Amino acid sequence: MELNEKFLNNPFLLSDNEQSNISFLGSSKVLNDTIFHYSNDTQFYNLHLDDIEIILVGYILDIRDDSKNEDDILKKLAFAYKSSLDLFLNDYEYMNGRFVLILSSPNDTLLFSDATSMLPIFNYKNKYFSSHEIILKEYVKIALGIELNQYGFNMKNFLDYTNTKEIFSFNPNLMYSFRNNSFKRIFPRGNQKNLPLEYVIEKTEAYLKTQINWLNNHYDKIYLSLTGGFDSKVSLALVRPIIDKVFTFTYMYKFDENTNYEELGNFKKIYYKDNVIVNNLVENFRLNNHKYYFFSDYKAPAKYLQTLGKHVSSHHSYGLSYIINKEFDRSSSIHLKSTLYELAKLSFKDVNDDESILNDIKHWAPRELHGQKEILMNMFKEYKKRNYTDEIFNFGHNIQTMLYWEFRMGNWHSNITQETDFTIDTYILINNRYMIKQFISLNKKDKKEKSLLITIVKNNWPALNYFIANSFDTLEDRI
């Protein structure tokens, strides 16, 4: 298959072959235990410190200090690693961004992702790794002479599965050793805690502010999707100090004064309610940079949809991908997404048997497998082996919450970003292990009541709480 590099952002391949066998991956760097193949468009930073070399693909920031640049951050990580892996991992918890990090030393060459693999990594046989499933599939075909089979349906990025048999996604809470050809779990490293709301706010609030400063110093335009839900309201509250740089947008169906809400289907009811709530937010908070994008105004060409479908590993919203490709300016801009806040709301029962766990996550599986209990159980058991999932139990963490983090966000959501990343990059305010660790440690009562997120809005733009999320009501209606 001929690959279109335009649809492959930051492409790379890690293999033991001196040739990438992929036409546009024409440059390479030889590391101690693997070879890094990249293209002219791959954005990466290369650091040498004594006998340590670090390659960073993508962008990174330290949430503790927004003034640090890549050189500062990677030097600190390298010095920490020279002391011990534990010290390195302590610092690594504070790293946000969308990146892949390769650390090579005389002892080993290690591969890490950001906290949710937002810059995805795919692997074949625990030996070959790439930025894109399609690149890895083509490499295996050309270099190894093996034609990998596809599943007969879209796997929906369930667990660590891709649409290609034998190619798996990289779990963000694992690291990979090229010397040992094996994975190792790097989170959790401590026992689960049950933390009060006040403690979590105290330990995370300052790090939200440093990230807003970092965004302000690095970008001229910050695109923020605004909906009638609560999560986008949290992001909106946090960017209040730099609101003039924020360009909110809402993708929408067209409604008029004759539209009868009660006659709409459930799907369009969601959009109708979004329309009403977003209008209230735009008008009352003077969001002068807001824009609506109506699906009916953007008919994506068949060739665009076909090419995108062949190059990415998800099938979420190709229509939105086309809108963003047509309307967004990548120059000095970034897309601020409001995902991951769900981790401050999830409140699963604590169970330790596979059947109960699978029952809580099976709705994320492909529709074709919903009635296939035995197949799903076998898939889950194989996943657990590959990802050392049983180690999570040893630290007392809720397994379903960790699965949501590691595969729902670390495989499903991370691959969605590929649908738009060739137009604009993505940022998420809590995409670091330190903050996620605090959020998932909230007690169940505060999770169910969304206490942390409500407090974040209250502390940053309290009037936003006047409009009730996903409702036509306001606070006055609830009195």
Q: Is 426 exposed, middle or buried (0-12, 13-18, 19+ CB in 10 A)?
A: buried
Phi-psi region of 286 (alpha: psi -120 to 50; beta: other; left: phi over 0): left
Q: What pLDDT does residue 298 have?
A: 93
Contact 300, 319 (CB under 8 A): yes
197-342+414-478 maps to CATH 3.30.70.600: no
Please name every residue paired with 52 in a beta bridge, in sequence order, or none if there are none: 49
- Report the C-alpha gap between 172 and 101 in whole angstroms: 11
Contact 407, 72 (CB under 8 A): no
Q: What pLDDT does residue 478 have?
A: 75
From 155, 93, 212, 53, select the one nearest 364 (Cα to Cα). 155
Contact 64, 210 (CB under 8 A): yes
Q: What pLDDT does residue 357 have?
A: 95
Please name the residues in contact with 375: beta carbons below 8 A apart, sequence gap of 6 or more.
Answer: 369
Q: What pLDDT does residue 47 have?
A: 97
Question: Rounded to the nearest 5°, which phi and psi values hold at 337?
Answer: -100, 150
Neighbours of 309 (CB within 10 A): 14
Contact 175, 388 (CB under 8 A): no
Q: What pLDDT does residue 316 have?
A: 85
Measured CA to CA in angstroms, residue 308 lies from 8, 109, 121, 331 at distances of 9, 33, 18, 22
- Report the C-alpha gap between 99 and 117 in whole angstroms: 8
- B/e letters for 87-114, b = 16+ CB within 10 Å, e = fewer, are ebbebbbbbbbbbbbbbbbeeebbbbbb
- Report the C-alpha gap between 411 and 404 in whole angstroms: 10
Q: What pLDDT does residue 331 have?
A: 87
SS3 56: strand
Question: Rounded to the nearest 5°, which phi and psi values hold at 121?
Answer: -130, 140
Count of residues for the chain?
479
Neighbours of 348 (CB within 10 A): 18
SS3 22: coil
Measured CA to CA in angstroms, residue 63 lies from 23, 66, 155, 212, 238 at distances of 38, 6, 34, 10, 15
- Report the C-alpha gap between 423 and 6 in whole angstroms: 9
Q: Provide the residue-wise pLDDT of the chain in tens; the chain has 479 residues.
A: 789 999 999 999 999 999 989 999 999 999 999 999 999 999 999 999 999 999 999 999 999 999 999 999 999 999 999 999 999 999 999 999 999 999 999 999 999 999 999 999 999 999 999 999 999 999 999 999 999 999 999 999 999 999 999 999 999 999 999 999 999 999 999 998 899 999 999 999 999 999 999 999 999 999 999 999 999 999 999 999 999 999 999 999 999 888 999 888 999 999 999 999 999 999 999 999 999 999 899 999 999 999 999 999 988 889 899 999 999 988 899 999 999 999 999 989 999 899 999 999 999 999 999 989 999 999 999 999 999 999 998 999 999 999 999 999 999 999 999 999 999 999 999 999 999 999 999 999 999 999 999 999 999 999 999 999 889 888 887 77
Measured CA to CA in angstroms, residue 326 lies from 36, 261, 296, 321, 331 at distances of 33, 31, 14, 9, 14
Q: Is 11 exposed, middle or buried (0-12, 13-18, 19+ CB in 10 A)?
A: buried
HEC string of 76-98? HHHHHHHHCHHHHHHHHCCEEEE
| 5-185 CATH, one of 3.40.50.360, 3.40.50.720, 3.90.1200.10, 3.60.20.10 | 3.60.20.10
Domain ranges of the chain: 5-185, 197-342+414-478
HEC string of 315-376? CCCHHHHHHHHHHCCCCCEEEECCCCHHHHCCCCCCCCCHHHHHHHHHHHCCHHHCCCHHHH
pTM above 0.85, yes or no: yes
- Report the C-alpha gap between 290 and 309 in whole angstroms: 30
- Report the C-alpha gap between 400 and 350 in whole angstroms: 8
- Report the C-alpha gap between 142 and 15 in whole angstroms: 13
Q: Compute, in degrees rounded to 10, the torsion defined by CA atoms 23, 28, 30, 35.
A: -40
